[in-house]
Amino acid sequence: MSDKPAELKLWGGRFTGATDPLMNLYNASLPYDQKMYAADLEGTKVYTQGLQKLGLITEHELSEIHRGLEQIGKEWASGEFVEKDGDEDIHTANERRLGEIIGRGISGKVHTGRSRNDQVATDMRIFVRDELTKILNFLKELILTIIKRADTEMDVLMPGYTHLQRAQPIRWSHWLSMYATYFTEDYKRLEQIIERLNVSPLGAGALAGHPYGIDREFLAENLGFNGVIGNSLAAVSDRDFVVETMFWSSLFMNHVSRFSEDLIIYSTAEFGFIKLADAYSTGSSLMPQKKNPDSLELLRGKSGRVFGSLAGFLMSIKSIPSTYNKDMQEDKEPLFDCLTTVEHSVLISTGVISTLSINKEAMEGALTMDMLATDLADYLVRKGVPFRETHHISGECVKTAEDEKLSGIDQLTLEQFKKIDSRFEDDVKDTFSFEVSVERRTATGGTARSAVKKQLESLKSQITK
């Protein structure tokens, strides 16, 4: 890469010697920050309006600048933008091209009072705000897809697990509602992050503020921000919104990973609860019978990629002094990769859950009578026996059924029940129904049909309010 004459660089007047070509490459960020071309052009468009309000550029010059910016935007969108040596980032590339279109006499005024420090910070906030808003809408669709499926398949029962051991019967819809709950909390957190990051650093200059008294509130309003960052030092150096975005992404991907792990287990031949659509599965290069849940394994694996992006960036910024330092350029690659990974993960998750098929018979066939041992204890509680005592009695019933090599505690005779505890009566047999078991749990958050419907309605209202 050849070095451009120093006077053409934004920072070139102080330097007369050529830069090491490797340093040019090491310093350049255009290969990845060109993603922000639209944000950069919009920021410049509004900033020059602010300059025109101050009388620092004329209406004609503003018109020419906006004409040039429109053309640059079309070139980026169509893939016709030609990058040149010296285009170290999206900001220098756009300004260089603007000079070619409208002449350097006018384009040279664009940067008046502005630093790349506040320019970069502004572009990033615009870009991240827009990307997170897009992800928010995709996440809403994922949640609504889960809710719709849960409502449709309300009748299906399955084992609920603790320690990956069969615990108590639940509804398949209850399991779906669990992840809809996690994702709804993610949705609400993301709304808050978008609100917090949506403040403007533009007009803060390099660090000390704007020398011409530009109207920062005007700039913020016209760029869709809710306000301005009140301290110019903080405005150019703050990257907490990047960290928060990656924190949120890490937590969301943790939920996606757990969601994926459950479905991977449920899709195995040993469980056979679900079957993934072909669109989200692959085969084996050697074993023709295999159908691998690669979509879910990739979702699970990519969570580590996102966690790594967060950890790496935190190490990059943990001890840099105020205000702007070049270390902060390391924010973009992990952030952009994180946003792309999360967006794709939301879309893939939506595709998986909307297209998989369930095996109702396998799910309900996995229910075993020992899972109703707690219901047996509850039976005696309703007759006035303290729970700690009924827990022990129910355990004796389980052990007796095992010793007698019975298929389940429901196979014990009334006489056997009474031998264990005389308070058992004929109606003990009514305990051994999986449907009755789930329907007894009517309290908020429970497995009864009414409780699950209430959960789904609440979740839907939270994201469609």
pLDDT per position as a tens digit, 150-204: 999 999 999 999 999 999 999 999 999 999 999 999 999 999 999 999 999 999 9
pLDDT per position as a tens digit, 4-39: 444 455 545 555 556 667 777 676 788 889 999 999
- Quick one: pLDDT at residue 9? 55
Homologous superfamily in CATH for domain 369-464: Fumarase/aspartase (C-terminal domain) (1.10.40.30)
- Quick one: pLDDT at residue 3? 43
Selecting among 60, 78, 163, 461, the annotated active-site residue is: 163
Yes or no: say if 267 and 259 are a contact pair by the CB < 8 Å rule.
Answer: no
User: What distance in Å separates the CA atoms of residue 101 and residue 228, rounded to the nearest whole number?
Assistant: 32
- Quick one: pLDDT at residue 2? 39
Burial of 405 (0-12, 13-18, 19+ CB in 10 A): exposed
- Quick one: pLDDT at residue 107? 97
Contacts (Cβ under 8 Å, ≥6 apart) of 271: 265, 362, 366
Told to judge if 284 belongs to the known catalytic residues of this protein, a careful annotator would answer yes
Which residues of the chain fall short of a pLDDT of 50?
A: 1-7, 11
- Quick one: pLDDT at residue 284? 58
- Quick one: pLDDT at residue 58? 98
User: What distance in Å separates the CA atoms of residue 192 and residue 190, rounded to the nearest whole number?
Assistant: 5
Homologous superfamily in CATH for domain 117-365: Fumarase/aspartase (Central domain) (1.20.200.10)
- Quick one: pLDDT at residue 18? 61
- Quick one: pLDDT at residue 285? 55
Domain residue ranges in the chain:
6-112, 117-365, 369-464
Render the burial of 294-326: b for 16+ CB within 10 Å, e for the rest: ebbebbbebbeebbebbeebeebbeeeeebbee
Render the burial of 208-224: b for 16+ CB within 10 Å, e for the rest: ebbeeebbbeebbebbe
User: What distance in Å separates the CA atoms of residue 342 and residue 249, rounded to the nearest whole number?
Assistant: 7
**Partners of 51 in beta bridges:** none
CATH no. for 6-112: 1.10.275.10
- Quick one: pLDDT at residue 138? 98
The helices-and-strands tally (H runs, E runs) of the chain is: 19, 4
Contacts (Cβ under 8 Å, ≥6 apart) of 121: 201, 202, 204, 235, 236, 238
Told to judge if 115 belongs to the known catalytic residues of this protein, a careful annotator would answer no
- Quick one: pLDDT at residue 1? 38
Quote the pTM value.
Answer: 0.91
Collapsing DSSP states into helix, strand and coil, what is residue 406? coil
